[in-house]
């Protein structure tokens, strides 16, 4: 147990659905991240939030919309996804993001399947 | 942009044999981190190396950071079935003005009992 929880753990959705992924960290960290993990590809950083402010957005399509209401919670809102968006979506947190000591604590992930 | 290459992609070893995975960055790194992901699990932080030429040990695991801070390796002595999983390196290139970790594709280790 790393102190980072994610819900749901599994999600199947159609291309016209709207759903949200939730992440919560209980570690008192200031930075939170969304990563996408697809088969045979490296972990792809999607978004970084530091103290509830978005600091990185790595050219992610607008059908993915993050929200960080406070430093403990992070959401990823999904709408009109494509089958190629099927992947494991991992949330992570770290003490800070503008530091060289930013060990990432990952949640268990949400396995997303888009039909 | 920064690229982190990791080899081999897969490694099958007999239990008791040694295992090494290598990581190479296209740019000089501020630090390098190593993570392990068990099958069906999520990445778990193992260690961070910061200094040029640094060597750290965790029981049967030895981590090295190259003198030029562009490469790193993880060596496991006498593998056990509990070592099964995918090992990722992740490099931090603060020189680019971004504190974003770039992950390698990982080395998937299988251990044959």
Give tens-digit pLDDT for B27-67: 999 899 999 999 999 999 999 999 999 999 999 999 999 99
Q: Which residues of B touch A45 (CB under 8 A)?
A: 100-101
Angstroms from B80 CA to nearest CA on chain A: 23
Give tens-digit pLDDT for A60-104: 999 999 999 998 999 999 999 999 999 999 999 998 766 666 789
Q: Which of B44, B88, B100 sits opposite A45 (nearest CB)?
A: B100
B52 touches chain A (CB under 8 A): no
Contact B49, B66 (CB under 8 A): no
Q: How confident is the model at residue B100 (pLDDT cuts 50, 70, 90)?
A: confident
B80 touches chain A (CB under 8 A): no
B95 touches chain A (CB under 8 A): no
- Print burial letters for A9-26: b (CB count within 10 Å at least 16), e (below 16): eebebeeeeebebbbbbe
Q: Which of B50, B88, B99 sits opposite A43 (nearest CB)?
A: B88
Element (H, E) at A77: strand A73-79
B61 touches chain A (CB under 8 A): no
Q: State the alpha helices, DSSP H only, in chain A.
A: none
Nearest CA in chain A to B108: A40
Q: Which two three-digit tokens encode residue A57?
A: 């957005």
Nearest CA in chain A to B35: A104
B19 touches chain A (CB under 8 A): no
Q: Which of B31, B44, B104 sits opposite A42 (nearest CB)?
A: B104
Give tens-digit pLDDT for A27-69: 999 899 999 999 878 899 999 898 888 877 778 999 999 999 9
B107 touches chain A (CB under 8 A): no
Residue listed under structure tokens 């993050």: A66
């Amino acid at each position: 147990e790393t102190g980072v929880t994610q819900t749901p753990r599994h999600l199947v959705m159609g291309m016209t659905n709207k759903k949200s992924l939730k992440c919560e960290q209980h570690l008192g960290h200031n930075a939170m991240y969304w990563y996408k993990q697809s088969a045979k590809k490296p972990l792809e950083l999607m978004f970084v939030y530091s103290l509830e402010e978005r600091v990185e957005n790595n050219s992610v399509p607008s059908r993915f919309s993050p929200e960080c209401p406070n430093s403990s919670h992070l959401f990823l809102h999904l709408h009109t996804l494509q089958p190629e968006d099927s992947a494991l979506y991992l949330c992570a947190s770290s003490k800070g993001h503008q530091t060289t000591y930013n060990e990432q604590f990952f949640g268990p992930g949400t396995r997303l399947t888009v039909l | 942009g920064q690229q982190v290459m990791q080899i081999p992609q897969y490694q099958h070893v007999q239990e008791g044999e040694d295992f090494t995975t290598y990581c190479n960055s296209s740019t000089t790194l501020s630090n390098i981190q190593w993570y392990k992901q068990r099958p069906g699990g999520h990445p778990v932080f193992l260690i961070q190396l910061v200094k040029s030429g640094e060597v750290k040990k965790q029981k049967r695991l030895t981590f090295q950071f190259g003198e030029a801070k562009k490469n790193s390796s993880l060596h496991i002595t006498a593998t056990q079935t509990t070592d099964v999983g995918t090992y990722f390196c992740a490099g931090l290139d603060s020189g680019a003005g971004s504190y974003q970790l770039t992950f390698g594709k990982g080395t998937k280790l299988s251990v044959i009992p």
